[in-house]
Amino acid sequence: MRRTIPLFITTAAGVVLVVAYFVPWMSALGETVSTWFNILAAIAFILGGGNLMKMNLRKISDRVPGWGYSVVTLVAFVVTLAVGLAKVGVNPLPEYPSYAWSGEFNEQGSAFWWIYEYTWKPLTATMFAMLAFYVASAAFRAFRAKNIEATLLLGTAFLILLGRTYAGVWLTSWLPEDSPLRIELLSEFVMETFTTTGTRAIMIGVALGVVATSLRILLGVDRSHLGSGRN
């Protein structure tokens, strides 16, 4: 029963969503299934929050290496949650001036907005900016001309990089504007012809893989996400 019921729910929801895509009068039913998923995900967030608290409190209690990070995590979590739920610094809506909590929790100037703007955003931007260094180190390794294939890859990458910068335009600016040998046009050609071809081939494979995987799950052939089918 523990696997039969989830499998039944999965199959029913999956079939409804597929049918709703093709049968117009069932689209409302498809939306209902999606809404149910959103409700489940929202409830599960409480589970996630509870798990976060439990895991970090245990790390602090056991004084595991790096427990200080858990303190920072918990403080950030509790403060953000409290500030958002209590709507600290939020002004009442003009329509309901006597209700202190009638404003939006993320209103400009509120404590939650402040945390979002001056803590969350800079931290996220920092992590994203670090990507540039990771790209550089990965490119350094990937573009080593070890063999013919790697050399071709290096040459193509160099051409594309050059074609995306002004240096590429400047280097072949002496050629006629419609010359296919101009680096920016060569770069476009490689992107539109070879890259698009490869990408489409992968996407066709992905689409077929999605269909086959969905069928395996809907038909109950693959139950590994619910447990082994053998036990």
Q: 180-200: b or e for each residue (b if 16 or more CB lie within 10 Å)? A: eebbbbbbeebeeeeeeeeee
Q: Token pair of 150, please?
A: 């790697």
CB of 203 to another protein, least distance (A): 6
* Structure-token match 């599960």, residue found: 44
CB of 47 to another protein, least distance (A): 5
Q: CA angle at residue 80 from 114 to 86, to 5 degrees?
A: 90
Residues between 122 and 181 with contacts to another protein, criterion CB under 8 A: 123-124, 127-128, 130-131, 134-135, 137-139, 141-142
- Cα separation of 112 and 85, whole Å? 9
Among 25, 62, 95, 146, binds another protein (CB under 8 A): 25
Under a CB-based contact definition with an 8 Å cutoff, are residues 20 and 29 in contact? yes
Size of the site for another protein (CB under 8 A): 66
What sections of 87-191 are H helices per DSSP?
A: 111-115, 121-142, 148-163, 166-171, 183-189
Q: Token pair of 40, please?
A: 């489940």
CB of 4 to another protein, least distance (A): 14
Would you count residue 12 as binding another protein (CB under 8 A)?
A: no
CB of 89 to another protein, least distance (A): 22
The length of the chain in residues reads 231
CB of 104 to another protein, least distance (A): 20
Candidate ranges 37-45, 100-108, 158-166, 175-183; the one touching another protein (CB under 8 A): 37-45
Under a CB-based contact definition with an 8 Å cutoff, are residues 226 and 3 in contact? yes
Give whichever of 151 and 173 is closer to another protein, judged by the CB atom: 151
Tally of CB atoms within 10 A around 118: 10
CB of 133 to another protein, least distance (A): 9
Best CA proximity match to 190, nearest among 147, 161, 151, 148: 161
Would you count residue 15 as binding another protein (CB under 8 A)?
A: no
Would you count residue 62 as binding another protein (CB under 8 A)?
A: no
Would you count residue 209 as binding another protein (CB under 8 A)?
A: yes
Q: Which residues sit at the interface with another protein, rule CB under 8 A?
A: 21-25, 27-28, 31, 34, 37, 40-41, 44-49, 51-52, 55, 58, 65-66, 69, 120, 123-124, 127-128, 130-131, 134-135, 137-139, 141-142, 199, 202-206, 208-217, 219, 221-222, 224-231
